[in-house]
Each structure stands twice: as C-alpha cells, then as structure tokens.
Amino acid sequence: MPTNYATARGRMVREQLIPRGISDSEVLKVMEIVPRHLFVEDALQGQAYGDFCLPIGEGQTISQPYIVALMTQSLALGPEMSVLEIGTGCGYQTAVLSLLCGKVYTVERLKPLLIKARRNFDRLHYLNIVCKVDDGSMGWQANAPYDAIIVTAAGPTVPEALLLQLADPGVMVLPVGDRQSQELVVINKCEGQVKKTTIELVRFVPLIGAQGWS
C-alpha cells in the first residue's frame, strides 16, 4: 500500500517538532509542506519522515527533521531576507529555507550532490535558490552581506570568512566542535558585537575546507 506522505509529514510535525519546542508557525507550516521523501533515495522514501538522519550518498547525510526545524527557527527568517547556506547536501534544508525568505545562496563542495539537489529544486519550482560548487567554509563573497547564514557541517571553529559575510544585524547557526560531537551555536551580530549561544548538542558531518577540516 503506498505511503501517505502528507499524513506522515503531519505526524512528524505533531510528534517530533512541536513537543521539542519548535513553535514558529511559519516553520511548522513549511515543514508540513516540503516533500522530504523526494530528497532521499527511492529505497529510503518510506523512512523519510522518521526521527533520524539518513544517508544521501558521498558520505553525507540529511539531518533529522527536528534539527532542520531547530536551525531554521533559530534564524528567525523573514520574506525579504537573503540567506547563505553552507552544505547544500540533498537540498532539503535549502528547500525549507527557500519558502521562508527572499533568496537562498547555497554552496556545496560535492558536485554529484548539487546536481541532484538542483534537479529537485527545478522539479518543485523552488526558483529563489542560487547554488554553486565551491569551498563552503569560505562562504560566497560575491553576494554578501547575508541577513542569515546556516552551516550544515561541523568545523572546529566559526569560519572567519562567514562572520565577515554576515550582515549587521544578522544571525548565523552552525555546529562547532570536534569530528565526533559538536554544539549547535547561534551567533547574533549587532552593532559590531558578536554574541554566541549554544542551543543543542549535535553530531554533523565535518566541514571540509580552508576554514574547516582539511
């Protein structure tokens, strides 16, 4: 019997997100809209709305829905904002962002992943996404500054390039730590001051690049 993905998304929101403190109504609405199952391999589509990450190839993963929602909510996005995403991956997080802001610029170092993600963006008519293959730890200077920056891979420190490309005021969310475990950190930049807040213990794939892991 075919999976009812709309029902699965609704259950995901009710059972995984709301009980853990995801309260932004727009984030919840988008999480119930974006077809997460289309961003994973066919064989894994029945597991797409489970409370866990899944492999997407090239040694990378799609984050569990709660982490996607938590990072998105932490950015407090608005319809006119520009967002830089580091680590496109399969494109699911990108898709969620695209429905909440004006423009998403996303950088992925692995071309096969970006090709598949771009195919899904086009298929679903998410037209406000601009992407490229590059070293994400260095950001995307050409379109800076960004109102918000999200990093979906973990580095040992906050990349200085990203701090410089963050608008003032602006907000960034990213995992920071060693290769085994990290803290999910929210950085608020305002009037030249930078405030860091830890919101969750997490485990992400490593951020590979000049200002990440070599």
Peptide bond into 169 cis (omega under 30): yes
Active site residues: 63
User: Using CA atoms, how far apart are residues 184 and 198, in angstroms rounded to an integer?
Assistant: 6
Please list, in sequence order, all residues whose beta carbon lies within 8 angstroms of the beta carbon of residue 172, skipping any fewer than 6 positions away: 148, 149, 150, 151, 158, 162, 163, 166, 186, 187, 189
Q: For residues 65 and 184, give the distance between their C-alpha atoms in angstroms, rounded to a whole number.
A: 15
d(CA 146, CA 56): 28
User: Given the structure tokens 């997407």, which residue do they identify?
Assistant: 56
